[in-house]
Chain A
Amino acid sequence: MLRTFFSFLLCLPLAAAVHAASPGATTAHRDGYQVDIHEFRFQPAQLVVPAGAHVTWTNRDEEPHIVVSAGNGFASSPALDTGDRYTATFAKPGTYTYFCSIHPQMVGTIVVK
């Protein structure tokens, strides 16, 4: 199948399509901790925050992602399209694992001290 793919590349005209990835404008927002969702990864994959912290995820991919708590430790996000944000508040200390239910290979952890 790789061969087929490269055959396909041979068929492309030389002009390259121009595509500018434009993640949503980053405007200042409320104090808190940030997790970027970029290239199908949560960045940072592990974030340590104090109790009561707000954590905001921002999808900087062209693909939609979701923040889903493993074991219902916090409310899951709706689908986040490009540039969308989601904020959750972590009141209690603990380790909160989450993942993207569209791409379950994407896993992250919030450690609340």
Chain B
Amino acid sequence: MNDDHRDDNTRTPSRRRFLECMAWAGAGALWMVQGGVAQARLLGAAGDGTPAPAASFGFVQISDSHLGFHKAPNPDPVRSLRETIARINALPQRPDFILHTGDLTHLSKPEEFDTVAELLKEAKTGQVFYVPGEHDVIGDNGKAFFARFGHGANGGGWYSFDHGGVHFVALINVLNLQPGGLGFLGADQLAWLKRDLAGLSDSTPIVLFAHMPMWSLYPAWGWGTQDAAEALALLKRFGSVTVLNGHVHQIQQQVEGQVTFYTARSTAYPQPPPGAAATPGPLQDLPAGDLRHAIGLREVRHVRGAQPIAVTDRALD
């Protein structure tokens, strides 16, 4: 401590703490991705009113709703998903669609799938695109999930679509898992991906989404995809690749060349950062009001003719 700076020293901690709390409890971080390098800009609590750059379109990512979960720190994931949808419906610019990156349910039960489908009917967006998490394919390799939430006639469940000049690819990395292994794509899916990308120009922006992280985030907890490198090799020639994942119930980010990877918050409950706890199970010891700071949604905007894709994470509080 330096006497000359006593004033600062007594004032700074609370001020810093306040700002950090705003950073978490406010609208989240706005990520601008330029030339593959992401820069974070913090939004204030009034972030919802921040004018967004003119976007040709926007969409929302939600993840890990875990309907059927009924323990600490969130005994009511139906309510938190409903609130998330209300937040989506209140966004100043209406998103064109929603991507749900898996773990809709906790135990793949029919009534859990029913509830998800009912709740998402309340979303005022054109469509919802889904990929399964490992919690959605229990006991039947995803049969019930694909019957209800699948897209297209593709046997393996993966699919792609184009929207506003962006090519979207939905990959499945939660099936045919091996003992001791990570997420898995498999040879059939990789062969399909190669064919799917073949006709696209290098300048087509690519958004790839799948449940488990597509980079080695924390393999000791299974947070990775063992054959992701083969998929990424196919994406190397593209100038802008954004990979959106779930599974880890927290925001994580990684940049590798032209590829930027993001994991999203859950709409149900947070999990610990890599290695910060004995297991990756739910962070249970959250005082009731603080759960809302740790769950929420992600807004993504694409500006036609520009490389940046802006990703904004919004907690419920």
Contact = CB atoms under 8 A, between A and B. Distances in A.
Given A7-B20, A10-B17, A70 B179 contact: yes
A17 B134 CA distance: 29
Interface stretch (B48-56, B80-88, B194-202, B277-285): B277-285
A10 B17 CA distance: 7
Interface in B191-236: 219-222
Looking at A1, A8, A66, the one whose CB has the most chain B CB atoms below 10 A away is A8
Given A17-B72, A62-B282, A7 B179 contact: no
Which size class do B's interface residues fall under?
35 or more
Given A19-B284, A79-B138, A98-B179, A64 B293 contact: no
Contacts, number: 107
Interface stretch (A24-32, A50-58, A85-93, A101-109): A101-109
Contact of B220 (A15, A63, A105): A105
Given A39-B278, A79-B139, A104 B21 contact: no
Interface residues of A, number: 35
B23 A4 contact: yes
B135 A102 contact: yes
Majority SS at the chain B contact face: loop
A44 interface: no
A108 B139 CA distance: 19
B266 interface: no
Interface of A: 1-2, 4-5, 7-8, 10-13, 15-17, 19, 39-40, 61-64, 66, 70, 78-79, 81-82, 97-99, 101-105, 107
Q: Which 3 A-B pairs have the closest CB atoms?
A: A99-B179, A7-B20, A104-B177
Given A5-B250, A62-B281, 7 more contacts: A2-B273, A8-B290, A8-B294, A12-B286, A40-B281, A78-B139, A104-B179
25 contacts: A1-B251, A7-B21, A7-B24, A8-B290, A8-B294, A11-B293, A15-B287, A16-B285, A17-B73, A17-B287, A63-B281, A64-B107, A64-B135, A79-B107, A82-B71, A97-B179, A99-B179, A102-B134, A102-B135, A104-B178, A105-B180, A105-B219, A105-B220, A107-B179, A107-B180
